[in-house]
C-alpha cells in the first residue's frame, strides 16, 4: 500500500512579491528549490503562516541567489509580500520505503538566502526550543 509523506519543505520563507496578472504558480529562488530537492513544475502546497491561508500550485524557478518567493495568478490573492510561508511537497512511498524515510527540511533564517538544511541525505535532527 502506498501512503503520502512529506518529501520536503521550505520553512518560513518570506514572500517577496505577488502578481495576480501572471498565469499562475509560485516563483521560488532556484537555490531554495535545489536545497529542498524540488523541481520546476512540481506541485507544492503553500501554507501562509502570517494569514492562515493555504493553496496548492506548482513551482517555477526564480533567479538563483535572489531570494525570490513570488505568488502568481490566483495565489496572489492569498499571499502578500512580507508574509511568511511554508512551501511543502509530498511523495508517495510504499510501507517498506517509508520506514527509513526522512524529508528534507530547509529552514529559512533572516533572509531567503540564509538557510539551514536538515534531513534528506543528511542525518535528521529535530529542532529544539
Q: pLDDT tens digit string along 31-87?
A: 999 999 999 999 999 999 999 999 999 999 999 999 999 999 999 999 999 999 999
Q: Is residue 93 part of a domain?
A: yes
Q: Is residue 124 part of a domain?
A: no
Among residues 22, 47, 58, 90, the one annotated as catalytic is 58
Q: Is residue 15 part of a domain?
A: yes
pLDDT score recorded for residue 24? 79
pLDDT exceeds 80 at position 126: no
Residue that wins the pLDDT comparison between 10 and 129: 10
Q: Is residue 125 part of a domain?
A: no
Q: Is residue 32 part of a domain?
A: yes
Q: Is residue 128 part of a domain?
A: no
In the sheet with 25-29, reading across from the earlier edge strand, the strands are 17-19, 69-72, 25-29, 54-62, 43-48, 84-94, 2-14, 104-108, 115-119
For this structure, is 47 an active site residue?
A: no
pLDDT score recorded for residue 23? 80
At 126, phi and psi to the nearest 5? -75, 140
Q: In total, how many domains does the chain have?
A: 1
Report residue 121's pLDDT band, with 50, 70 and 90 as the boundaries.
low
At 98, phi and psi to the nearest 5? -75, -20
Phi-psi region of 67 (alpha: psi -120 to 50; beta: other; left: phi over 0): left
Q: What is the CATH number of the domain that holds 54?
A: 2.40.40.20
With beta carbons less than 8 A apart as the criterion, state whether 74 and 20 touch: yes
Report residue 129's pLDDT band, with 50, 70 and 90 as the boundaries.
very low
Q: Is residue 127 part of a domain?
A: no
Residue of 98, 105, 100, 97 lying closest to 125 (CA atoms): 105
Task: Give the residue numbers spanning the domain of 65.
Answer: 2-119
Among residues 22, 25, 47, 90, the one annotated as catalytic is 25
Q: Tens of pLDDT along 75-120?
A: 999 999 999 999 999 999 999 999 999 999 999 988 899 999 998 7
Amino acid at each position: 500500500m502506498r501512503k503520502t509523506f512529506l518529501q520536503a519543505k521550505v520553512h518560513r520563507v518570506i514572500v517577496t512579491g505577488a502578481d495576480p496578472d501572471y498565469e499562475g504558480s509560485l516563483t521560488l529562488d532556484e537555490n531554495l528549490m535545489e536545497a529542498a530537492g524540488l523541481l520546476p513544475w512540481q506541485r507544492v502546497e503553500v501554507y501562509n503562516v502570517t494569514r492562515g491561508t493555504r493553496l496548492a500550485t506548482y513551482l517555477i524557478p526564480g533567479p538563483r541567489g535572489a531570494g525570490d518567493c513570488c505568488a502568481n495568478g490566483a495565489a496572489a490573492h492569498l499571499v502578500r509580500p512580507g508574509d511568511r510561508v511554508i512551501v511543502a511537497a509530498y511523495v508517495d512511498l510504499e510501507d517498506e520505503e517509508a520506514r527509513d524515510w526522512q524529508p528534507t527540511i530547509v529552514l529559512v533564517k533572516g533572509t531567503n538566502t540564509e538557510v539551514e538544511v536538515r534531513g534528506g541525505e543528511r542525518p535528521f535532527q529535530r529542532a529544539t526550543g
